[in-house]
Amino acid sequence: MSVTVSTAARQSVKCDAIIVLIPETERQFGQHEKALTASIPHLTPVFESKDFTGKSLQTALAYCGSAASAPRIILTGLGETQKVTVETLRRAAAAAAKRAAASGCQHIAVEVQTVNGIDAATIAQAIVEGALLSQYAFDKYKTIAPSNGKKVKKLTLITDKAHQKAVTKGADAGWVIVEGVTLARDLANAPNNEIYPVTLARKAQEVGRKSGFKTTVLDKAKIEELKMGGLLGVNQGSTRPPVMIVMEYMKGPKSEKPLVLVGKGVTFDTGGISIKPAAGMSDMKSDMHGAASVIGTMQTIAKLGLKRNVVGIVPATENMPSGSALVPGDIITFMNGKTAEIDNTDAEGRLILADALCYADRYKPSAVIDLATLTGAVVIALGSVTTGMMGTDQKTMSRLRAAAEKTNEYVCELPLHEEYEELISSDYADIKNSGGRSAGSITAALFLKHFVSYPWVHLDIAGTGIQPKAAHYVCKGGSGVGVRLLTEMLRHW
């Protein structure tokens, strides 16, 4: 995939299809109709038919003949002008790219026009994100190309000299963000026989080398030395060793305390001895989506060259049943000396996160945000649309809310009232790892809260990270959620 910016007139851009985004609002629609039919007369019957009205996500394809260098033009609706948002543009670009791909186009050119007061850089970024992310498929294992597998590979943004600089800036940022989201999707969708703890660590090291952050991998011996009983406990049923991946990007002022991002890295979650049902278990190859989001974000901020101090921490292991696995009733001791009774071996994410949250303390962080596919309960509460947000740091939560507004990666806060604590009280240890079905996402977060000593936000992405179906520019399966959200927050801190 590649993105370029051109200041040529729309009819002289060489590509497979020109895309024009058109609002439904009468005045603007009329202006577009007039200008378009004047330069490309082949569009006259399209407009005369009134099939295309500029309704949101509507598309119309016409052939340009000798009127343009491109053989096709695709009109794409934006809906009412006053209602156009950045998300409208992402979705419209996605709809247009899909229509183009279905007609076998590999190179599309989209005209960037300011609409509803949104600046040119933001529009360019949105178009790049929507068009390119819509073309994603985890298809590297397909040796037989599917018949509907044609993809757009090249995107040109058409603008004028006055907006060239802003459009280029937005397109460049969009491109880096798309790469970060794509990395997170690839990691999350990779099966466990490709991405398991050691290969996840290697991948993080490679990404760090290429994009410019330092990666340290703590191996099993080091994890034992640090007495990380949570990570070791979950790992003890597995033949593959655990790792703790630590990524440091320190490009901010020396005096700035780092923001630490922690990502759950369960490369496959069978449930362990409290084993999950067979149906749908393959989704649990994505139980390291939190880790994927953190690695994808580290790559993105490094490539954008943000002047910030950010640390990424990923505890990684499989959760397997075996003769050596944890069993219910076992009591484990974490890095900070606290103990937990295992009530359900399927509540493993909080056990490995507990040690990672203790480890984060070394960085004296300004705040810690963890991302985890932590509970089925959050899927029941918020579905695949909204990420469950909990924590102790209202300021960071406001920042995340503001970033969510822009990226459309919604977050919604759930309460951590003290009254829920009794659900995870244990007769034998400090706490137990499951509070049962009631308030499952909250009790999971309250478990984590026992291990934090700094401002903290927990994002439960079990629903938003593993999508049941594709929509607009978001793919089915591992969605890459979190990369755009965190990057947006960090860019505008």
Catalytic (active-site) positions: 276, 350
Is 269 a binding residue for Mn ion by CB under 5 A? The answer is yes
User: Given the complex with ligand BES, which of 28 and 441 has the nearer CB atom?
Assistant: 441
Is 409 a binding residue for ligand BES by CB under 6 A? The answer is no
Site for Zn ion in 145-184 (CB under 5 A): none
Query: Coil, strand or helix: which one is 274?
Result: coil
Q: What is the CA radius of gyration of the chain?
A: 24
- From the CB of 486, what's the least distance to Mn ion, in Å? 24
Compute, in degrees rounded to 10, the torsion defined by CA atoms 388, 390, 396, 397. 50
Site for ligand BES in 272-311 (CB under 6 A): 287
Residue nearest to Mn ion (CB): 346
Is 269 a binding residue for Zn ion by CB under 5 A? The answer is yes
Site for ligand BES in 420-459 (CB under 6 A): 434, 440
Q: Which candidate, 291, 290, 284, 289, places its Cα nearest to that of 270?
A: 284
Q: CA-based angle 130:131:135, to the nearest 5?
A: 110
Q: What is the largest CA-CA distance in the chain?
A: 81
The one of Mn ion, Zn ion, ligand BES, none whose footprint includes residue 33, by CB under 5 to 8 A per kind, is none
- From the CB of 281, what's the least distance to Mn ion, in Å? 11
Q: Pick from 56, 333, 344, 366: which binds ligand BES (CB under 6 A)? A: 344
Q: Classify strands 477-478 and 466-467 as parallel, antiparallel or unpaired.
A: antiparallel
Binding mask 331-350 for Zn ion (x = CB under 5 A): ------------------x-
- From the CB of 373, what's the least distance to ligand BES, in Å? 4
What the block records as the tokens of 200 is 């996840």
Residue nearest to ligand BES (CB): 376
Inter-residue contact 97 to 130 (CB < 8 Å)? yes
Q: Pick from 109, 158, 462, 485: which binds ligand BES (CB under 6 A)? A: 462
- From the CB of 319, what's the least distance to Mn ion, in Å? 6
Residue 153 and residue 233: Cα distance in Å, rounded? Answer: 45
Q: Pick from 231, 291, 379, 459: which binds ligand BES (CB under 6 A)? A: 379
Query: What burial class does residue 2 get, using C-beta atoms within 10 Å of its C-beta: 0-12 exposed, 13-18 middle, 19+ buried?
Result: exposed
* Order of strands, sheet of 17-22, starting from the edge strand that comes earlier in the sequence: 2-6, 154-158, 107-111, 17-22, 72-77, 59-63
**Which amino acid is present at 175?**
W
Residue with tokens 């996160």: 353
Site for Mn ion in 335-364 (CB under 5 A): 346, 348
User: Given the complex with ligand BES, which of 152 and 379 has the nearer CB atom?
Assistant: 379
Q: Which candidate, 101, 134, 119, 123, places its Cα nearest to that of 21?
A: 123
- From the CB of 240, what's the least distance to Zn ion, in Å? 16
Residue nearest to Zn ion (CB): 269
- From the CB of 392, what's the least distance to ligand BES, in Å? 22
User: Given the complex with ligand BES, which of 77 and 440 has the nearer CB atom?
Assistant: 440
Q: Which candidate, 429, 408, 413, 431, places its Cα nearest to that of 421?
A: 431
Q: Pick from 5, 73, 377, 416: which binds ligand BES (CB under 6 A)? A: 377
Inter-residue contact 177 to 133 (CB < 8 Å)? no
Inter-residue contact 233 to 326 (CB < 8 Å)? yes
How many residues make up the chain in this entry?
493
Is 393 a binding residue for Zn ion by CB under 5 A? The answer is no
Q: Which candidate, 227, 211, 301, places its Cα nearest to that of 261?
A: 301
- From the CB of 298, what's the least distance to ligand BES, in Å? 22
State the number of binding residues for ligand BES (CB under 6 A).
17
The one of Zn ion, ligand BES, Mn ion, none whose footprint includes residue 344, by CB under 5 to 8 A per kind, is ligand BES
User: Given the complex with ligand BES, which of 215 and 373 has the nearer CB atom?
Assistant: 373
**Which stretches of the chain bind ligand BES, using CB under 6 A?**
269, 287, 344, 346-349, 373-377, 379, 434, 440, 462, 466
